[in-house]
Amino acid sequence: MKRWFLFALVLFLPLASASTSLHLEWELGEQTDVEHRYVEHFPDQLMQCQDCNATNDGDVVVNWWRHSETTGSDWPDDDANLRAGTNGIELDQTASLINGNGEDTRQHLVDLTGTLSIRSDYEDQYYFVANLTFTPTVELRDDALMQILFIERDATDQHGRELPSLVRDMTSDVGFFTKANNSSAVDVEISYEHLSAAGVDLSEEAYGWRVIFVVLGAEDNATGQPGVIAMYETSVPTSTEDLTVLDHLPPLAMIIVAAFIIGSVIRGSLNQEHGLPEIRALWKDSKDPVVLIEILAKKKLITTEGCEAIAPWTMRGGVKRSKIEPGEAFTFEVRLKKWHQQGLLILLKMDVESLGGWTQNIRLPGRKDEERSVEVEA
């Protein structure tokens, strides 16, 4: 039984480790009001932005860093250079981009709803999943694009540079319908490897990660550069913030199952220890081979079901079926036909209350010829 217990512990160790996996889930929330502008700054390598626009309270401001190659900074700059190049901003320029197209006002033309989650299949390897519904309120042009930005509130590189609201990563998606009121399911997964390359470690709560969803586009009949037509902001919760019991159900369920099975093994072991009887056996001092067997019942009712002698030994007659109440002792004889040199093996069959059938092996050494002759002479 101890072997079964150890086997159960080893079997469910993976479940215990799986329970350390993090799974945070939260709602996307409400859209950012159209009165709040989306302002993208492109500073120089000294983190100054002489040609940048002044910002207002309530503006959603992000900073793109484009100078890691010339400064040796460990901040990522691929997405920043792509964003700047798309909008004709040269590397030696500083600039601001307001609402994606330079307009001071923007529209809200797309409704986003759904859930966001941080998941980990392996310890300390966290990835991001967005399960969204994308619904245009008007017909959009085919160049509509959704960007998912990971923002580090207060970034510091290995040289000590500091930059607020640094865009660490940008992921784009175009897998949605552009027809009015035609909803699309948009499921985006950003892998651990992708985020890690951008310096986004979602296990580090101290960084205060923000996630911004920006939809760039225009109405179907509009001309000009696409602008921000929807924006949603959210913050990644800590491991204890804004979580429901459901967030912990997968690992919790595994722990409960493991605990139940291991507990059952332990209870079974204890039941057997306290339920099985004590059994004593010895040769009777007689001419013929007779074994005296004593059964002491503990906390369970014991019912003897019979005995069997293993060859070359054979029994003379049988053993009556008897019941032994808890706490009582019962002694009976097993008569054998003749003596043998080989040791004796008797299989004592019993039924133990609530534990079921049980067979006890009883082994006794064979009697020597000298001992038997002395007994006969006596």
Average the pLDDT over each of 67-81, 195-209, 290-304 and give the range with the smallest value.
195-209
Q: What is the rounded CA–CA span in Å between residue 151 and residue 213?
A: 11
pLDDT band at 318 (very low <50, low <70, confident <90, very high): confident
| Structure tokens, 163 | 């930059």
* Per-residue pLDDT at 45: 94
* Per-residue pLDDT at 355: 75
More confident residue, 125 or 116: 116
Q: What is the rounded CA–CA span in Å between residue 3 and residue 322?
A: 32
* Per-residue pLDDT at 195: 94
Is the entire prediction scored with pTM above 0.75?
Answer: no
More confident residue, 255 or 357: 357
**For the chain, what percent of residues have pLDDT higher than 90?**
56
* Per-residue pLDDT at 363: 86
Average the pLDDT over each of 75-84, 198-207, 287-296 and give the range with the smallest value.
198-207
Determine contact, residues 226/216, Cβ cutoff 8 Å: yes
> What domains can you pick out in the chain, each with its CATH number?
23-238 (2.60.40.10), 277-377 (2.60.40.10)
Q: What is the rounded CA–CA span in Å between residue 123 and residue 118?
A: 13
Query: Dmax over Cα atoms in the chain, in whole Å?
Result: 126
Q: Is residue 202 scored above 50 in pLDDT? A: yes
Average the pLDDT over each of 80-89, 94-103, 312-321, 365-374 and give the range with the smallest value.
365-374
What is the four-CA torsion angle of 55, 59, 60, 65, rounded to 10 degrees?
0
